[in-house]
Amino acid sequence: MKPYTQAAILLLFVILASCEDEENQVLQFPEEISDDIPETIFAQGLVEIRTVATGFNIPWAIEVIDNEDFLCTDRTGKLYHYQNGELFSINNIPQSYSFTPANNLVLGGLMDISLHPEFSSNKLVYISYVANDQKLTVARFKLQGDNAENVEMIFKANGISVGSRISWENDTHFFVSVGMGGDPFPEPGAQDLLNDRGKIHRLMEDGRIPTDNPILSGTFEPSSIWSFGHRNPQGMHYDKTNQVLYSNEHGPLGGDELNVIIKGENYGWPLFSHGLNYNFSPVSFMTEIEALETTVLPIKYWGYDLRVSPSGLLKLEDSNFKSWNGSFLMGSLYPQNLLRYNPETDETEIVLEKVGRVRDVAQLPDGDLLISIDSRSPSPSDSGRILRLSPR
Ligand SMILES: [Ca+2]
């Protein structure tokens, strides 16, 4: 290509990019990491992407209030409120503890956020985070303007978590996941019923243990534990129509899973996994048939080839993407994709390739979707951002 042709193409990109910025009214938060706004891209001719807000570090969770009104957590300990084109911080939220191990990823910190089902009248908001005592904690508060009021800690696990999601079953009960990890070998505890890690818990709105929670083997009364043997659940979705709780979780190398969560059941980690330890050794020598007898196998697992490392989970029901309704959308951290899994056909599709580390997926009342993406992905200069997806 001749130099002047290259220059002309570059100029065209600059003009297109600047038009795009104006049209999208991209918000620049003061503590932004970079000015880089990703261009609008068209994936497979189906999706139009618009940047709604930037300046985040690790935008772990989006919780929609209305079409132009949503909350977003940042793992580094901040909670943001986007409302009609403005982005502001919520004050007075509990301090969270995040840490950065050798691989440069930020772990712990502020993770999920969820509105009480009767938020419109009671203004109650729930968050899950690693507190300064290094334990996974659930707090709730009243959202009054840009303030968190009447902050109450309503659940404290007896250990830390590297991932967490909250999902409501009905107006009075919710689920919260507490994960674990292990590199190169599994951390102990997912099978230990006195250890809150590697579990999905079920609580009442005020944090009390529901009397109809399972009485697990070797115990005499219900605890907060709803299911156990999980590795690191980073997406949860409660399908209210069919009353089914879904959760995805990180395997080690391969063995990422989508599970249907059933009361009192054992999801197998680390007795059995479809994946391998990080040093490529087997997690266990249990066969799938043996695992089927004592644990619940995932409804879907992904191998090492796709390296899903899922985050966020949304089962689409009445989105504007008509052909996707009935499918699950989830982020795929390591390869930086947005994935769609169709349970009818058992097909996994890369919806947006190399879009960045997608942390969460949410649907707006108008049927469009929001996704949140980590800073420094896919390019090291990228700011953490929230994108709106509409059918093209
Ligand atoms: Ca499992």
Q: What is the pLDDT along the chain (392 residues), one digit of tens a residue?
A: 444 444 443 333 333 333 322 233 343 333 433 334 344 444 556 899 999 999 999 999 999 999 999 999 999 999 999 999 999 999 999 999 998 876 677 889 999 999 999 999 999 999 999 999 999 999 999 999 999 999 999 999 999 999 999 999 999 999 999 999 788 899 989 999 999 999 999 999 999 999 999 999 999 999 999 999 999 999 999 999 999 999 999 999 999 999 999 999 999 999 999 999 999 999 999 999 999 999 999 999 999 888 899 999 999 999 999 999 999 999 999 999 999 999 999 999 999 999 999 999 999 999 999 999 999 999 999 999 999 999 98
CATH topology of domain 3-391: Neuraminidase (2.120.10)
- Distance from the CA of 257 to the center of ligand 1, in angstroms? 7
- Distance from the CA of 301 to the center of ligand 1, in angstroms? 9
- Distance from the CA of 221 to the center of ligand 1, in angstroms? 25
CA–CA gap between residue 283 and residue 80 (Å, rounded): 40
Strands 337-342 and 232-239, how do they pair? Answer: unpaired
Domain boundaries, given as residue ranges, for the chain: 3-391
CA–CA gap between residue 366 and residue 369 (Å, rounded): 9
- Distance from the CA of 269 to the center of ligand 1, in angstroms? 5
- Distance from the CA of 362 to the center of ligand 1, in angstroms? 25
CA–CA gap between residue 89 and residue 381 (Å, rounded): 23
- Distance from the CA of 268 to the center of ligand 1, in angstroms? 5
- Distance from the CA of 6 to the center of ligand 1, in angstroms? 51
Q: Which residues, 6+ apart, have CB-to-CB distance to 79 below 8 Å?
A: 71, 72, 73, 89, 90, 93, 110, 113, 127, 148
327-330's contacts with Cβ under 8 Å and 24+ in sequence apart are 328/237, 328/246, 328/248, 328/258, 329/361, 329/369, 330/235, 330/248, 330/358, 330/361
- Distance from the CA of 230 to the center of ligand 1, in angstroms? 6
- Distance from the CA of 244 to the center of ligand 1, in angstroms? 17
